[in-house]
Structure 1
Amino acid sequence: MKLVEYADRDMMMLDLADKIASELSAMLEHEDRASLAVPGGTSPGPVFDALSAVDLDWARVDVMLTDERWVTEDSPRSNTALLKKRLMVDKAAAACLIPLYGGTDTPEECLDALAGAVQAAMPLSVVLLGMGEDMHTASLFPGADRLTEGLSSHAPALLPMRAPGADEPRITLTAPVLNGAMSKHLLIMGEGKRAALAAAIRADDAFDAPVKAVLPDMTVHWAA
């Protein structure tokens, strides 16, 4: 794991967007397509804003979320809606969105169809992750019902996930998919998350600190 500290958040967001754009561009130089998986939530928004304006062959880039709440796009909790508003605009509007929501009552009902599209984009070119102060990443939460399966080296590409404190079912990329990416970045801000990262590194295993499972070969970007 490599830790990069920044003097301020704005600098971090711009630098991270530049790194991701460079990695995608390098991939497109020798592959037909590149793939990018990103977190939901508001924290990566400035990265998305900067990336969306980059002059890249976006039509050859597949974009997906690392996880999604099982809600419709008109919900204020939809990560897909946020992604369409912040990243898949301007030049990046030409990118191909691989959905993690299928419109059924439960994620299990359309899991296979969603997973097929994800598998077609593997191995992922670039993954950007976030982390909660509870040390979850994507929807790999401590105490989640299928966490053991999600952390397994034999996990499928996608899993439904339900966890204490999560208001709705989730669907998430699993640890081997995230770890199989050519490049991995973790974006965290504030002293609380810096302390959580340190706790995850010290943890005996990933079941109490799921982010630990994806830290090998990770570049962590942190600003206070």
Structure 2
Amino acid sequence: MIFQDYPTRDALMQAVASKLAADLQSALANRDTVTFAVPGGTTPGPVFDALCQIDLDWSRVHVLLSDERWVPEDHAQSNAALIRSRLLQGYASKAAFTPYYSASDDINTAADKLSQSLSALGAIDVLLLGMGADMHTASLFPKAAGLEAAMAEDAQLLVPISIAGQEVQRFSLSAPALRAAGAKHILITGDEKREALNQAKDLSEAEAPIQIVLPDATVHWSAA
């Protein structure tokens, strides 16, 4: 793990955007099409705002979500809607994007279909993740229903996840998909998450799913 801290949140967001752009540019120099997996949530929004204004050959970038709630894009909790409004703008409007929700399928059928079709893209070239104070990443939460299947060595690209107390089911990239990614970046802020990160180092992947990617990831952190 490489740990980088930044004096301010603004400095963090700008630096992460620049690093992601550099990694995408490097991948584009070696492949016709590259895959860029990103999280939802509010934290990475400023990264996306900066990144979409960087002039890359976005027409050769395929954007995927690290996880998604099983809701249509007009729902307030849709990660796809966030990505369209914050990342797929400016230069990055030329990127390909595959949303996961389908009104015509149930979540299990959709996971199977998408895993088959998106696996043709190959391993993720550049991966950006967040982490919760409970040490989850993507939608791989400790003790979640579906976590064991997502951790299996032969798990498909996308797996359904259910979390106790939450009515909305989720999609998540599986552990093998996350582990196989090329450039891995984790974006966190605040003392609570830094402490959680320190705790995760001594726990198993089942107890702290962030451990799936932590050993060879760059962690970007600011206090505020």
Q: Please give the TM-score of this superposition, normalised by the length of structure 1.
A: 0.96
**Structure 1 position 105, deviation (Å):** 5.8
CA distance in 2, matches of 1:9, 1:151: 32
**Structure 1 position 110, deviation (Å):** 1.9
Match of 2:90 in 1: 90
Report the AA paired with residue 39 of structure 1: P
After TM superposition, where is structure 1 displaced by more than 3 Å over at least 4 residues in a row? Answer: none
SS at match of 1:143: coil
Whether the 8 Å CA contact 1:102–1:114 is kept in 2: the answer is no
**Structure 1 position 2, deviation (Å):** 0.8
My pick for the range that moved more, 163-172 or 109-118, is 109-118
Whether 2:12 is the aligned partner of 1:12: answer yes
My pick for the range that moved more, 76-85 or 112-121, is 112-121
My pick for the range that moved more, 110-119 or 50-59, is 110-119
CA RMSD of aligned residues (A): 1.2
**Structure 1 position 153, deviation (Å):** 2.2
Unaligned runs of at least 5 residues, structure 2: none
**Structure 1 position 29, deviation (Å):** 1.1
Deviations 1:97-149 (A, max 9, x none): 02222224631132222112321222111000001111110010111111112
Whether the 8 Å CA contact 1:99–1:114 is kept in 2: the answer is no
Whether the 8 Å CA contact 2:156–2:174 is kept in 1: the answer is yes
Match of 2:207 in 1: 208
Deviations 1:180-221 (A, max 9, x none): 111000000000100111111121x12121111221201000
CA distance in 2, matches of 1:221, 1:167: 32
Q: How many residue pairs align between the two structures?
A: 223
Deviations 1:130-180 (A, max 9, x none): 011111100101111111121222211110010114331001101111111
Match of 1:138 in 2: 138
My pick for the range that moved more, 99-108 or 76-85, is 99-108
Whether 2:65 is the aligned partner of 1:65: answer yes
Whether the 8 Å CA contact 2:100–2:110 is kept in 1: the answer is no
SS at match of 1:110: helix
Whether the 8 Å CA contact 1:40–1:65 is kept in 2: the answer is yes
Whether the 8 Å CA contact 1:157–1:177 is kept in 2: the answer is yes
Report the AA paired with residue 162 of structure 1: S
SS at match of 1:216: helix
My pick for the range that moved more, 42-51 or 110-119, is 110-119
Whether 2:167 is the aligned partner of 1:178: answer no
Q: Please give the TM-score of this superposition, normalised by the length of structure 2.
A: 0.96
CA distance in 2, matches of 1:166, 1:195: 26
CA distance in 2, matches of 1:82, 1:117: 23
Match of 1:120 in 2: 120
My pick for the range that moved more, 22-31 or 79-88, is 22-31
Whether the 8 Å CA contact 2:178–2:212 is kept in 1: the answer is no
Whether the 8 Å CA contact 1:98–1:117 is kept in 2: the answer is no
Match of 1:51 in 2: 51
CA distance in 2, matches of 1:211, 1:184: 12
Report the AA paired with residue 198 of structure 1: N
CA distance in 2, matches of 1:215, 1:151: 15
Percent of aligned pairs with the same amino acid? 46
Match of 2:37 in 1: 37
Report the AA paired with residue 59 of structure 1: S
CA distance in 2, matches of 1:138, 1:118: 17
Deviations 1:17-67 (A, max 9, x none): 111111111111121011100000010000000111110000000001000
My pick for the range that moved more, 160-169 or 184-193, is 160-169
